[in-house]
């Protein structure tokens, strides 16, 4: 009611009210509310990524990412406090005074179909924030320590009671003195200027496991940015895309290949060699095969997502290669004419 346009005539009230409605609709969902009760705001960040590194879980940004990095970020956090109280409905709400997990880092790479099957090791230049070794992430100068904020008593939040025509309403906001940290650093660390983190750049090797499909996101835990105030490191998210192949067209996990045969081979039948990602295969072409006929080689496509060792199929389309009559020599033209005349006299089966 504090931001309802009928009560609050501030021009920004309509925008605030829209954000309140969207936040409420999200948190009123039983599944997302359960995640929030168990894990706090971080529990809302589990629906974006579809892939994971073997042995890990799929996690990522969710609804709250809409507010992250914007002027509405602290307002969204305040909404959570107003809806459920400063400590959350189950005591799991993490206010900004607590140590916070570092941000994830995102990379993208492209690999060939062959590399998707066999796996690949890549080397990347990783620029990230690391925990300051001088202050161990506290932000305070060596030999000193942060002091508890006197205004919020270390909670990072301040609450006020507002009396309106509709009654008294409790409002929770980020502490203006410590900016939500809950602590005051009187003597900042010389190396990190009180941030508790310092930027570092290094080259690292990453293993892309075999059996990748297109647009999979792999999570490498602990390779992201350092957390705030001693919080845990974020993750590195690597999105893997598959390159176009010179021989095969890819549609999902299935591959498509076009093979050419001569007109006599189509009439009499033949055997042709078909390249696959797993080695060559011999394909028998029956006599009288029409141009455009397709043959399916099962298990010769790409690995199926989350299907253990199962693979898609390779679909081979056979095209009959008919040379231009005008480009044939006279002897060949005569043979074609003789064959045409003979076929006209041959009864159709």
Let me know: does 51 contact 211? Beta carbons within 8 Å: no
Number of domains in the chain: 2
Q: What is the pLDDT of residues 249-259, one digit of tens each?
A: 999 889 999 99
pLDDT at 79: 54
Report yes or no on 320 lying in a domain: yes
Residue 1 reports pLDDT greater than 50: yes
- Ranges 1-5, 62-66, 73-77, 272-276: which has the least confidence: 62-66
Residue 330's domain comprises 259-345
Residue 124 lies in a domain: no
Boundary of a domain, candidates 94, 114, 134: 94
- Please say if the pLDDT value at position 12 is more than 80: no
Give the CATH number, domain containing residue 337: 2.60.260.20
Q: How confident is the model at residue 132 (pLDDT cuts 50, 70, 90)?
A: very high
Interatomic CA distance for residues 254 and 60, integer angstroms: 28
pLDDT at 327: 79
Residue 105 lies in a domain: no
- What pLDDT is stored for residue 33 in this prediction? 64
Task: State what percent of residues in the chain have pLDDT above 90.
Answer: 38
98-126: per-residue pLDDT in tens? 567 899 999 999 999 999 988 999 999 99
- Which among 36, 63, 94 is the end of a domain? 94
**Structural domain includes residue 47:** yes
pLDDT number for residue 44: 56
CA–CA distance, 153 with 183 (Å, rounded to integer)? 8
Whole-angstrom distance, CA of residue 168 vs CA of residue 269: 89
Answer whether residue 82 shows pLDDT above 60.
no
> Domain end: 94, 115, 147, which one?
94
Q: Name residues whose C-beta falls within 8 Å of residue 31's C-beta, 6 or more positions apart in sequence.
A: none
Tell me, yes or no, whether 19 lies in a domain: yes
**Does position 66 have pLDDT exceeding 50, yes or no?**
no
Given this model, what pLDDT does residue 58 score? 36
Residue scoring higher pLDDT (92 or 149): 149
pLDDT surpassing 80 at residue 53: no
- How far apart are the C-alpha atoms of 50 and 177, rounded to whole Å? 41
The per-residue pLDDT for range 322-345, each reduced to its tens digit, is: 877 777 888 888 888 887 788 777
CA distance 69 to 119: 35
Stretch 194-219: mean pLDDT: 90
What per-residue confidence (pLDDT) applies to 315?
97
Q: Give the chain's mean pLDDT.
A: 79
144 near 190, Cβ under 8 Å? Answer: no
In a domain, 77, yes or no: yes
How far, rounded to the nearest angstrom, does the alpha carbon of residue 52 sit from its chain's CA centroid?
9
Task: For tokens 């400590």, name the residue.
Answer: 87
* Within a domain: 154: no
**Stated pTM of the model:** 0.58
Collapsing DSSP to helix, strand or coil, 122 comes out as strand
Residue 301 belongs to a domain: yes
């Amino acid at each position: 009611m504090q931001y309802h346009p009928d009560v609050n005539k501030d021009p920004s009230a309509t925008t605030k009210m829209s954000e309140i409605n969207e936040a409420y609709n999200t948190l009123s969902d039983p599944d997302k509310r359960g995640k929030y009760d168990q894990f706090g705001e971080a529990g809302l960040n589990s629906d974006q990524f579809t892939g994971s590194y073997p042995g890990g879980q799929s996690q990522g940004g969710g609804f709250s990412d809409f507010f992250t990095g914007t002027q509405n970020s602290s307002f969204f956090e305040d909404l959570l406090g107003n809806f459920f109280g400063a400590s959350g409905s189950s005591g799991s709400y993490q206010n900004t005074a607590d140590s916070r997990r570092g941000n994830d880092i995102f990379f993208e790479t492209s690999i060939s179909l062959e590399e998707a099957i066999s796996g690949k090791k890549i080397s990347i230049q990783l620029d990230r924030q690391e925990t300051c070794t001088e202050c161990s992430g506290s932000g305070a100068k060596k030999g000193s320590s942060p002091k508890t904020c006197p205004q919020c008593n270390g909670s990072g939040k301040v609450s006020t009671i507002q009396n309106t025509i509709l009654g008294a309403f409790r409002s929770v906001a980020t502490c203006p003195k410590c900016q939500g940290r809950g602590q005051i650093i009187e003597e900042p660390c010389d190396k990190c200027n009180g941030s508790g983190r310092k930027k570092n750049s290094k080259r690292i090797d990453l293993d892309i496991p075999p059996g990748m499909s297109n647009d999979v996101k792999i999570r490498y835990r602990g390779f992201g940015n350092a957390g705030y105030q001693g919080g845990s490191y974020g993750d590195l998210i690597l999105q893997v895309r598959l390159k176009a192949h010179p021989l095969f067209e890819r549609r999902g996990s299935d591959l498509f290949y076009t093979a050419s045969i001569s007109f006599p081979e189509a009439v009499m039948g033949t055997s042709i060699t078909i390249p696959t990602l797993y080695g060559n295969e011999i394909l028998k072409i029956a006599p009288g095969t029409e141009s455009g006929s397709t043959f399916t080689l099962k298990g010769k496509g790409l690995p199926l997502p989350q299907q253990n060792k199962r693979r898609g199929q390779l679909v081979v389309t056979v095209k009959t290669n008919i040379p231009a009559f005008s480009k044939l020599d006279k002897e060949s033209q005569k043979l074609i004419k003789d064959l045409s005349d003979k076929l006209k006299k041959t009864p159709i089966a």
